[in-house]
Every structure is written in structure tokens, then in C-alpha cells.
């Protein structure tokens, strides 16, 4: 396995069912990645505005996404590739 730090702004499609934010797909560099599994979710409340984090999987790869509530922007923080 190989981890790559990305920290890149992305577009994310989400579901807000049952009062939870659940990412279902994201778009990066013109390609859509459909999320197959949510591995973990957590909130960092230390900054001025909370940041929501999601560890998600698509195929053999995992991705860490974040949503900043200050500017409501999504970022791809890192990618864990199953080489």
C-alpha cells in the first residue's frame, strides 16, 4: 500500500438522509469516483469552524475527504493506493 498526500479541492455529491452527511461520489480531474463504502467518519472541532472527515473506499483504493464548514469546500486530503 502507498499513501499519497493530495490536499486538492474537489466536487462531492452527498446524501443528507437521516441527518448525516454521506458522500456518494466525487469528481477529480474530470473523472467521477463512485464511493462504495464509508470506512470511517469524524469531526475536528478544534478549528474555528468544524471540519468533517470521511475515509471512503472505491475498489481497492481508499480516500480521505474533508468538508470545511467555514467555506463549505470539499478537499481530497490523501489517497491510499493498493498497488
Mean pLDDT of 47-51: 89
Closest CA to 54 of 30, 26, 32, 82: 26
Q: Which residues make Cβ contacts (< 8 Å) with residue 80, sequence separation at least 6?
A: 1, 2, 3, 61, 62, 63, 64
Which of residues 44 and 48 earns the better pLDDT score? 44
Which of residues 47 and 68 earns the better pLDDT score? 68
Predicted confidence at residue 42, as pLDDT, reads 97
Amino acid at each position: 500500500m502507498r499513501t499519497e498526500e493530495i490536499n486538492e479541492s474537489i466536487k462531492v455529491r452527498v446524501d443528507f438522509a437521516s441527518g448525516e452527511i454521506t458522500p456518494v461520489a466525487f469528481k477529480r480531474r474530470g473523472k467521477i469516483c463512485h464511493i462504495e463504502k464509508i470506512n470511517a467518519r469524524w469531526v475536528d472541532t478544534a478549528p474555528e469552524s468544524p471540519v468533517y472527515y470521511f475515509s471512503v473506499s472505491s475498489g481497492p483504493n481508499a480516500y480521505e475527504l474533508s468538508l470545511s464548514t467555514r467555506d463549505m469546500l470539499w478537499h481530497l486530503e490523501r489517497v491510499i493506493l493498493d498497488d
